[in-house]
Structure 1
């Protein structure tokens, strides 16, 4: 079953990275955990790997001699020189250039890549996908929706802060934007199973969960998980359109321009293709939210 042994994971210390490394180790791959600090993850050997620096990527690949590369590096907001263009586009270009020609290459993109012109996140994710598709490598691209699990950024922080901060909960517009969140375990299983399924090469898979929710339903679920009762007040989009740019002046804005553009766009797709290709268990958000909001 396992022809592969050496697997290099970039962004291995991140939320998804740790889950992917864990799944790889459980299936007895030899795992190299690439990150900017180079720390070990679980039983995986840590390697210093800064995707924005080609020589750093080449060194890490040289040490790992990978038969497969899983590229997970991504950011959700820009900081200093860590821009979407540098991290998503240049970072991907460097990893593709360093990946041995015969290796399997698995790429983390995002649902809606390229569909949201006012989101630099979305635009640069699509640019990176184009590089992957033109790389000549044996690639598979995954496009996850919102990913949930203990330690996630959206349900564990953004939404939690949104429903906790004020006496009322602000709902963006009519709150009807659809989402189909997927568990971090399902995402990790899809990536790792793809290594054993050569027929999945050259395919792009949306990764979404078993159920679709509106933004309003997500707010209600989050409130219930936190045991809070508060009125939810719709904020007209016209007002949000004025407010969000002003929030960017805060040291850490509650919502970035990109997150706002992506929330308004919604984030959903059918799950059948990935579920069947990788035999995914499809964990439910409702079963996990209690643990997520408590952070354990």
Structure 2
């Protein structure tokens, strides 16, 4: 099967591409620079440019499209609406009617969410459901693996920089992180399972953690012993907007809104549908936070 993957050179994209190649598919790796990954055909693809998307699709003539492109923070013209909503609209428009379509959304996607990220993901989902294509939507929780941004950078810097680890509120917000290997297996597996057409799956891991427990796990993986100090939400509500004047704030308004909502769901439907092995966060964290992986 010819498969066009958008966002192929990203953290999740590389894992999905690797799994697709293992299963014998011909992969067209779409990225803004058009660089090829080993075993793939590189295709220049900017989802915010309709012409670029149509050219990439015309070159690949895909039987299936795996749409992974997304951003976690807005920057200049790269807004959630432009990348997630308009980008998805452009990709769908370039698909032939027979195309099998697999879509990366996010757990917590809701059009009434306090997070612009989550709202835009929900709006993109609506476009997919209305497209008339044979689609499957995945909603992953926090995705972990070597090279990830949250555990490998954000949380690592949070617990490793100051002598005291700041904790948002009481730290009770629940999360169920999922491994990038399990995510890749689900995306590739959907192409081989016709019964998953028209289905939406939450992608979550085998264990649920509070935010405080994640901080402790990160400290343990780094071999550090530090006190954890709760920061009241009332104070965080003042600090987070003030941080936005920084060139690269440690936490954006959107990330703060999502953290307070938590990010968890049962893993049964996806685990059973795709036979996911359910890799454990505790087993992967030492490699993720290793100094050689910075």
TM-score (norm 2): 0.98
Cα distance, 1:289–1:116 mapped onto 2, change above 3 Å: farther
Match of 2:59 in 1: 63
Query: How far apart in 2 are the matches of 1:118 and 1:276?
Result: 32
Match of 1:207 in 2: 203
Query: How far apart in 1 are the matches of 2:134 and 2:14?
Result: 24
Match of 2:152 in 1: 156
Q: Please point out which of 206, 210, 223 is paired with 2:219.
A: 223
Query: How far apart in 2 are the matches of 1:258 and 1:188?
Result: 26
Deviations 1:82-109 (A, max 9, x none): 0000000000000000011101000000
Deviations 1:1-29 (A, max 9, x none): xxxx1000000011000000000011110
After TM superposition, the structure 1 = structure 2 runs for residues 233-244 of structure 1, keeping only pairs within 5 Å, are: 233-244=229-240
After TM superposition, the structure 1 = structure 2 runs for residues 1-296 of structure 1, keeping only pairs within 5 Å, are: 5-114=1-110, 117-294=113-290, 296=293
Query: How far apart in 2 are the matches of 1:242 and 1:291?
Result: 35
Task: Report the alpha carbon displacement of residue 42 of structure 1 after superposing the two structures with TM.
Answer: 2.1
Query: How far apart in 2 are the matches of 1:117 and 1:185?
Result: 28
Query: How far apart in 1 are the matches of 2:140 and 2:242?
Result: 29
Two-structure CA RMSD over aligned residues (Å): 0.8
- Structure 2 gap ranges (5+): none
Task: Report the alpha carbon displacement of residue 196 of structure 1 after superposing the two structures with TM.
Answer: 0.4
Query: How far apart in 1 are the matches of 2:11 and 2:18?
Result: 11
Deviations 1:181-222 (A, max 9, x none): 000000000000000001100000000000000000000000
- Structure 1 gap ranges (5+): none
Task: Report the alpha carbon displacement of residue 117 of structure 1 after superposing the two structures with TM.
Answer: 2.2
Does the residue aligned with 1:63 lie in a helix, a strand or coil? helix
Query: How far apart in 1 are the matches of 2:113 and 2:103?
Result: 21
Task: Tell me if structure 2 keeps the 8 A contact 1:8–1:70.
Answer: yes
Query: How far apart in 1 are the matches of 2:111 and 2:268?
Result: 21
Query: How far apart in 2 are the matches of 1:28 and 1:117?
Result: 39
Query: How far apart in 2 are the matches of 1:138 and 1:106?
Result: 8
TM-score (norm 1): 0.98
Task: Tell me if structure 2 keeps the 8 A contact 1:9–1:33.
Answer: yes
Task: Tell me if structure 1 keeps the 8 A contact 2:111–2:120.
Answer: no
Which segment drifts farther, 178-187 or 113-122?
A: 113-122
